[in-house]
């Protein structure tokens, strides 16, 4: 079909010729109709410069008087398939081509039709045909087209002579015999016509232009041509999808879940299908579907109220009851609010007390409540015993203990104590119940320990060990810190001094040890067990000679305090003890026991010495001694009383004794040690006190002093140079191997070969350029490493990823985060909307065709298509921008 159409188009130029020939035939016939006056003709020609013949218009005018239905029937002929087929044949027969048929072509049908109409005018049988045709049309409901061919044939049969020039006429040859009518024959009668010459000229032209017609193509080729055309057509048809596809592809989101009809009905629909099955349901249905109720519903439900009758009395009663209840509730509420508002603690305490009292009274009164309470208590106890929740198990407590109780603040410590107390409380019940506890056992344990300690041989051993340990500590301390704050010169000085003091002290202690060892040997096992036992209680909270620097300091501090205020001695002492308690907890047990022994031993004799020494010692020492003396006197009084059972007292007493011992030994060493002691005190801690004129150096000065030794700037320069050398290494110096490449004498004469020098020079220049290009070339105090860091590599792409054309656009697209924290929910949705939105369980049908205007932007279209306006994501927008930019650049 398509092929045929194309051929028609190709033949268009030929049709002009046909038209001419038609005109000839028209000319022949036009005499039959009435004519226009010549003036009018001219007028029309003037108006119509197109090559439409006046004659045609002529006949047109004539045609107007024709009947309407006839014309209609003719019109149908325009699309007669038969005629189109006829047209095909034309190409093969040249003669026929010239002699144009009526129903040749749509474009020229208009003339042919006219002619036909004229024919029908002439033909008396035509009217019958028309009627017949109309009848057929009415019956079948189809246009008259299918019947036309038949009719035409008949028509031609009836009046052959009238249409000698029609190629459609099959009887033409039969009628005429051999004679083929040429165009000349037809033109001859028109000789006297004014247009005749023109017609002839045209005819000649056509004859000259005619070509030979080729033989039909072989079947394979014909098929090929057909396929080609068919492909062309199907391509064209498929192309209509292009804009739609384009739109879908460009859309940021494609929705496939729009037309969803899952077949689920509404609640109303389900309810209407409900049928009562069980007895209960049937009863309910009977009530619900009662005639009266339904009727009432129909009447706006007003009569429903009538059905639901309640007596006035009842209603009033109910109202009253409700009001009462409400007012009660309100009052109660108000009271509660009022009570809650009271801020007085006493009030609340009293309230609580009252409540407890009431509870306990109830306990007393009600045996059941008592039982319950007891059970509860029992249960709590059992739980506690099982879980030990308040002992060690609590993670909080464990954590606190792990960190050390001494590091906690007051509140925490109190809480811990409370915790333990609770445990005690919970478990104590058991004791009262059992009522068979013995506090003795603990004491017994203590005694045993002390007894073991008092064994002379062991004590000796322990003393030796202690001595060793002290010496070890001394050796260990030797190392001076070489860096950090402690390496600063003034700190170093201080440290040194302190160390000296320590050494001295250590020496003292060692001597002490030795003394006591000797004494131990002397005295043997003759010791008072009572004293030993009291000494055993001194494990915690006692301050004694400690060999290590830090403790030493504390001690000195203590001494100083003592000398400062004699009167407060006792109180301060105890305070110190408390402070030291935590430290001492971690103290070595051995050390303690050793000290105990030592104290025990030394006490007896040193007590008496003290008085003499007080007299002897001058200066700051006196105050110190005084304090000791005071404690001693106090102790003595106690001793005199003969009561030494109080543990605390004894501990104080022994401590002071120990100080005594120490001092006495110092004195024995001589005056040097005393002065040393003094100096130490002044230098270490009491600087401000002893040298009030000393001023703190200013910050700058301090820094200068601190960094006196090192040149930071120089170091930095060096570092930078190193890094530069590492990243842009210096070229190697050209090396000349003697005897390689040249004889040695020539080498010596000529020196380095020129190429080597050149290469070296090039490398050097290259390096310099590279150094100049560095980011830190101009920055004096900065090093910017040009080595790419591996951590940053993870966060970078090596190239600009595919859809992006430039780096900037890519960066732009990545600039803004799309998360819900940085975008309001209105933009968060569109930003994160996926490309395809579908619903699981919904079958997606293939695409259906819809018209898409390719010139409208997809966004506008989507708005048009009742979609929620989808704002595009950053990415796609960025891409578009980049495209625009690129275009602009071009």
Partner 1 sequence: MKIKVISRSTEEFTRERSQDLQRVFRNYDPILRPQEKAVEYVRALNAVKLDKIFARPFIGAMDGHVDAISCMAKNPSQLKEVFSGSMDGDIRLWDIAARRTVCQFPGHQGAVRGLTASTDGRILVSCGTDSTVRLWNVPVASFGDSDGSIKTTIEPASVYVWKNAFCAVDHQWDGEHFATGGAQVDIWNHNRSQPVNSFVWGSDTVISVRFNPGEPNLLASSASDRSINLYDLRMDTPVRKMIMMTKTNSIAWNPMEPINFTVANEDGYCYSYDSRKLGEAKCVHKDHVSAVMDIDYSPTGREFVTGSYDRTVRIFPYNGGHSREIYHTKRMQRVFCVKFSGDGSYVISGSDDTNLRLWKAKASEQLGVVLPREKKKHDYHEAIKKRYRHLPEVNRIARHRHLPRPIYKASSLLRVIADAKKKKEERRKAHSAPGSVTTKPLRKRRIIREVE
350 has which bridge partners? none
Q: Does 871 bind partner 1 (CB under 8 A)?
A: no
761: tokens are 């020079």
Exposed/middle/buried for residue 391 (C-beta within 10 Å: 0-12, 13-18, 19+):
middle
Kindly state whether residue 245 participates in binding partner 1, applying the rule CB under 8 A: yes
85 sits near partner 1 (criterion: CB under 8 A): no
Given a contact cutoff of 8 angstroms between Cβ atoms, the answer to whether 206 and 17 are in contact is yes
CB of 880 to partner 1, least distance (A): 17
Residue listed under structure tokens 């501990």: 651
Query: By CB under 8 A, which span of 36-44, 181-189, 778-786, 813-821 interacts with partner 1?
Result: 813-821
Q: Could you tell me the smallest distance in angstroms from the CB atom of residue 235 to partner 1?
A: 5
Q: Looking at the chain, how many residues does it have?
A: 890
Token pair belonging to 855: 């010139």
Q: How many C-alpha atoms does 664 have within 13 Å on its Cβ side? A: 21
- Nearest in space to 528 (alpha carbons), one of 660, 661, 639: 639
- Among 642, 840, 854, 888, interactor with partner 1 by CB under 8 A: 840
Interface segment toward partner 1; rule CB under 8 A; list 40-48, 99-107, 231-239, 734-742: 231-239
Least distance (Å) between residue 11 CB and partner 1:
23
- 181's CB contacts (< 8 A; 6+ apart) are 164, 165
Determine the Cα–Cα distance for residues 180 and 98; give it in Å rounded to an integer. 13
- Which span sits near partner 1 by CB under 8 A: 15-23, 364-372, 506-514, 828-836? 828-836
Please report whether residue 816 would count as binding partner 1 according to CB under 8 A: yes
Q: Which stretch binds partner 1 (CB under 8 A): 221-229, 518-526, 548-556, 779-787?
A: 221-229
Per CB under 8 A, which region of 89-97, 577-585, 709-717, 845-853 contacts partner 1?
A: 845-853
Indicate the residue among 774 and 833 with the shorter CB distance to partner 1.
Answer: 833
Q: Is 235 in the site for partner 1 (CB under 8 A)?
A: yes
Instruction: Pick the binder of partner 1 from 833, 867, 881, 885 (CB under 8 A).
Output: 833
Does the footprint of partner 1 cover residue 738 (CB under 8 A)?
no
270 binds partner 1 (CB under 8 A): no
Q: Rounded to an integer, what distance in angstroms lies between the CA atom of residue 172 and that of residue 161?
A: 9
Q: Does the protein bind partner 1 through residue 256 (CB under 8 A)?
A: yes
Cβ nearer to partner 1, comparing 759 with 793? 793
In the complex, minimum distance from the CB of residue 224 to partner 1, in angstroms, rounded to a whole number: 6
End-to-end Cα distance, the chain = 47
Q: Does 88 bind partner 1 (CB under 8 A)?
A: no
Among residues 136, 491, 706, 814, the one that binds partner 1 under rule CB under 8 A: 814
| DSSP codes of every residue in 799-832 | S--TT--SHHHHHHHHHS--STTTS-HHHHHHHH
User: Binding string, 788-807, against partner 1, x = CB under 8 A?
Assistant: -----xxxxxx--x------
Query: Judged by CB, which is closer to partner 1: 220, or 708?
Result: 220
188 vs 222 by CB, closer to partner 1? 222
Instruction: Kindly state whether residue 259 participates in binding partner 1, applying the rule CB under 8 A.
Output: no
DSSP-derived 3-state class of residue 848: coil
Which of 151-159, 235-243, 649-657, 727-735 is the region at the interface with partner 1 (rule: CB under 8 A)?
Answer: 235-243
The secondary element (H helix, E strand) that includes residue 578 is helix 569-585
Q: Which two tokens stand for residue 645?
A: 């059972």
Q: How far is the CB of 258 from partner 1 (least distance, A)?
A: 13
Using alpha carbons, list the distances in angstroms from residue 413 to 231, 418, 577. 95, 8, 18
Q: Which stretch binds partner 1 (CB under 8 A): 114-122, 158-166, 624-632, 818-826?
A: 818-826
Binding region for partner 1 (CB under 8 A) out of 163-171, 423-431, 821-829, 860-868: 821-829
Q: Which of 405, 416, 842, 870 binds partner 1 (CB under 8 A)?
A: 842
Helix-then-strand count for the chain, H and E: 44, 2
- Residue 668: name the closest of 612, 738, 600, 713 by CA: 612
Q: What H or E segment, with its residue span, contains residue 110? A: helix 106-122
Smallest distance from the beta carbon of 581 to partner 1, in angstroms?
A: 48
- CB contact set of 449 (below 8 Å; sequence gap of 6+): 536
Told to check if 750 binds partner 1 by CB under 8 A, we report: no
Q: CB under 8 A: which stretch of 58-66, 224-232, 270-278, 365-373 binds partner 1?
A: 224-232
Residues 6+ apart with CB under 8 A from 159: 123
| C-alpha–C-alpha distance, residues 56 and 30, integer Å | 9
User: For residues 509 and 547, is the Cβ–Cβ distance under 8 A?
Assistant: yes
Q: How far is the CB of 77 from partner 1 (least distance, A)?
A: 26
850 belongs to the binding site for partner 1 (CB under 8 A): no
CA distance 155 to 168: 11
Question: At closest approach, how far in Å is the CB of 798 from partner 1?
Answer: 8
Q: Does 843 help bind partner 1 (rule: CB under 8 A)? A: yes
Nearest in space to 747 (alpha carbons), one of 758, 759, 732, 735: 735
What SS3 class is residue 20?
A: helix
User: Residues in the site for partner 1, rule: CB under 8 A?
Assistant: 223-224, 226-228, 230-231, 233-235, 237-239, 241-242, 245, 248, 254, 256, 793-798, 801, 814, 816-824, 828-829, 831-836, 838-849, 873, 875
């Amino acid at each position: 079909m398509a092929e045929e159409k194309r051929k028609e188009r190709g033949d268009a130029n030929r049709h002009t010729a046909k038209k001419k020939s038609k005109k000839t035939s028209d000319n022949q016939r036009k005499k039959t109709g009435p004519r226009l006056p010549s003036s009018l003709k001219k007028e029309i020609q003037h108006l119509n410069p197109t090559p439409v013949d006046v004659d045609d218009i002529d006949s047109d005018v004539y045609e107007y008087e024709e009947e309407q239905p006839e014309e209609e029937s003719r019109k149908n002929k325009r699309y007669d398939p038969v005629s189109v087929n006829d047209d095909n044949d034309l190409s093969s027969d040249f003669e026929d081509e010239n002699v144009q048929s009526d129903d040749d072509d749509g474009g020229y049908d208009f003339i042919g039709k006219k002619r036909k109409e004229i024919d029908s005018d002439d033909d008396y049988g035509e009217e019958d045909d028309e009627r017949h045709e109309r009848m057929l049309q009415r019956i079948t409901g189809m246009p008259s087209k299918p019947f036309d061919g038949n009719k035409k044939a008949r028509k031609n049969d009836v009046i052959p002579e009238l249409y000698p020039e029609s190629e459609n006429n099959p009887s033409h040859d039969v009628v005429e015999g051999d004679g083929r009518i040429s165009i000349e024959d037809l033109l001859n009668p028109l000789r006297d016509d004014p247009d005749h010459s023109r017609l002839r000229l045209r005819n000649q032209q056509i004859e000259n232009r005619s070509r030979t017609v080729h033989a039909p193509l072989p079947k394979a080729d014909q098929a090929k041509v057909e396929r080609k055309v068919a492909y062309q057509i199907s391509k064209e048809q498929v192309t209509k999808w292009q804009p739609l596809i384009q739109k879908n592809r460009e859309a940021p989101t494609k929705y496939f879940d729009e037309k969803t009809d899952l077949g689920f009905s509404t609640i109303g629909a389900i309810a209407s299908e409900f049928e009562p099955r069980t007895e209960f349901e049937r009863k309910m249905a009977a009530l619900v579907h009662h005639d009266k109720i339904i009727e009432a519903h129909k009447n706006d439900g007003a009569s429903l109220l009538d059905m639901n009758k309640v007596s006035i009395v009842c209603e009033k009663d109910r109202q009253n009851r409700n009001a009462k209840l409400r007012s009660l509730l309100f009052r109660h509420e108000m009271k509660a609010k009022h009570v809650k508002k009271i801020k007085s603690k006493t009030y609340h305490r009293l309230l609580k007390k009252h409540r407890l009292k009431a509870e306990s009274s109830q306990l007393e009164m009600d045996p059941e409540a008592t039982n319950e309470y007891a059970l509860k208590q029992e249960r709590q106890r059992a739980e506690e015993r099982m879980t030990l929740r308040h002992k060690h198990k609590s993670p909080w407590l464990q954590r606190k203990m792990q960190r050390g109780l001494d590091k906690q603040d007051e509140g925490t410590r109190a809480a811990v104590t409370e915790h333990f107390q609770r445990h005690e409380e919970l478990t104590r019940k058991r004791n009262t119940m059992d009522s068979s506890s013995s506090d003795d056992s603990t004491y017994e344990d203590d005694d045993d320990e002390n007894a073991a300690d008092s064994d002379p041989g062991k004590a000796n051993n322990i003393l030796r060990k202690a001595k060793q340990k002290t010496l070890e500590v001394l050796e260990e301390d030797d190392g001076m810190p070489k860096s950090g704050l402690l390496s600063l010169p003034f700190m170093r000085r201080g440290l040194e001094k302190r160390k000296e003091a320590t050494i001295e002290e250590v020496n003292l202690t060692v001597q002490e040890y030795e003394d006591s060892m000797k004494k131990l040997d002397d005295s043997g096992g003759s010791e008072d067990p009572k004293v030993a036992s009291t000494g055993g209680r001194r494990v915690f909270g006692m301050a004694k000679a400690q060999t290590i620097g830090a403790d030493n300091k504390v001690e000195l501090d203590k001494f100083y305090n003592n000398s400062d205020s004699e009167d407060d001695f006792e109180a301060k002492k105890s305070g110190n003890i408390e402070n030291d308690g935590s430290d001492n907890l971690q103290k070595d047990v051995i050390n303690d026991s050793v000290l105990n022994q030592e104290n025990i031993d030394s006490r007896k004799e040193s007590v008496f010495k003290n008085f003499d020494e007080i007299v002897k010692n001058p200066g700051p020492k006196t105050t110190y001694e005084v304090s000791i003396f005071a404690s001693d006197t106090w102790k003595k009084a106690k001793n005199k009383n003969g009561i030494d059972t109080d543990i605390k007292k004894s501990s104080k007493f022994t401590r002071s004794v120990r100080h005594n011992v120490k001092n006495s030994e110092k004195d024995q060493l001589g005056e040097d040690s005393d002065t040393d002691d003094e100096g130490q005190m002044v230098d270490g801690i009491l600087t401000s006190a002893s040298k009030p004129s000393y001023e703190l150096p200013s910050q700058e000065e301090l820094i200068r002093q601190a960094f006196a030794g090192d040149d930071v700037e120089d170091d930095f320069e060096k570092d930078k140079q190193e890094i530069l050398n590492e990243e842009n290494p210096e070229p190697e110096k050209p090396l000349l191997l003697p005897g390689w490449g040249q004889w040695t004498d020539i080498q010596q004469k000529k020196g380095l070969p020129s190429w080597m020098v050149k290469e070296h020079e090039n490398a050097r220049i290259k390096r310099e350029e590279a150094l100049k290009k560095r980011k830190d070339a101009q920055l004096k105090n900065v090093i910017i490493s040009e080595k790419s860091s591996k951590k940053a590599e993870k966060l970078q792409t090596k190239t600009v990823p595919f859809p992006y054309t430039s780096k900037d656009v890519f960066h732009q697209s990545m600039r803004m985060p799309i998360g819900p924290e940085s975008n309001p929910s209105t933009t968060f949705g569109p930003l994160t909307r996926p490309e395809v939105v579908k619903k699981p369980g919904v079958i997606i049908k293939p695409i259906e065709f819809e018209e898409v205007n390719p010139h409208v932007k997809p966004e506008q279209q989507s708005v048009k298509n009742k979609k929620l306006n989808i704002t595009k994501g950053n990415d796609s927008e960025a891409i578009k921008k980049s495209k625009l930019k690129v275009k602009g650049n071009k």
